[in-house]
Chain A
Amino acid sequence: GAGVSQSPRYKVAKRGQDVALRCDPISGHVSLFWYQQALGQGPEFLTYFQNEAQLDKSGLPSDRFFAERPEGSVSTLKIQRTQQEDSAVYLCASSPFGGGGSQEQYFGPGTRLTVT
């Protein structure tokens, strides 16, 4: 079946522009996660949804970052007034389970954001 999909796959933004990154999780998956992966680093947690509820947003680096999942399926990560340090790969992952325990997460291909 279809895995997690993300769009766009590549995004170039001028500093100061707003961007929106989309994630389509596996159908029926309860949990959805966003991670940021800088060059040469492992993924770093940004935020986590269980259905439409954002249960943890402790990893969002600033108030320029905002995520939503209004109907409990598709999610959008929005970055306002992009800065060069926002350049990274943004990964989305989903899991069929909720409940706060850590289970296998299924990752999307990522969106590579370059801020010039």
Chain B
Amino acid sequence: AQRVTQPEKLLSVFKGAPVELKCNYSYSGSPELFWYVQYSRQRLQLLLRHISRESIKGFTADLNKGETSFHLKKPFAQEEDSAMYYCALGTAGKLVFGAGTILRVKS
């Protein structure tokens, strides 16, 4: 079965500290993985996808097939990064989401 696990409901860091939001997946095929973000009072939007291997707003995520992980990282957190982050697995067109992690960046 396809499943996405985000083990932390809440991650609280100080401004300038490194951030790592964890995501593990279960999928038998070749995965397509995404990170979506929802800022306060805004709609869900794509942050990045593994296939493009790009850095968006300083965030990167590397697909590790051996560990079935797709952790989201940023070296120096900023207050405007505070949001809900969802890891998602793409399969046959649809997305399977994790439960999400709230990131709080404290000043």
Contacts and interface: CB of A to CB of B under 8 A. Distances in A.
B54 interface: no
Interface residues of A, number: 29
Contacts, number: 63
A42 B49 contact: no
Contacts of A110: 43
Interface string B14-37: 000000000000000000101000
Nearest to A44: B97
Contacts of A55: 93
Interface centre among A40, A44, A103, A106 (most CB of B within 10 A): A103
A89 B65 CA distance: 33
A99 B94 CA distance: 11
B47 to A, nearest CB: 10
Contact of B99 (A4, A42, A108): A42
A31 B44 contact: no
Contacts of B6: 42
Counting chain A CB atoms within 10 Å of each CB, the highest count among B94, B95, B97, B100 belongs to B94
A57 to B, nearest CB: 11
A83 to B, nearest CB: 23
B59 to A, nearest CB: 16
Interface of B: 4, 6, 32, 34, 43-46, 49, 86, 88, 90-100
11 contacts: A4-B43, A35-B95, A42-B88, A42-B100, A45-B96, A56-B93, A91-B44, A102-B93, A102-B95, A103-B90, A107-B45
Interface of A: 3-4, 31, 33, 35, 40-45, 48, 50, 55-56, 59, 91, 99-110
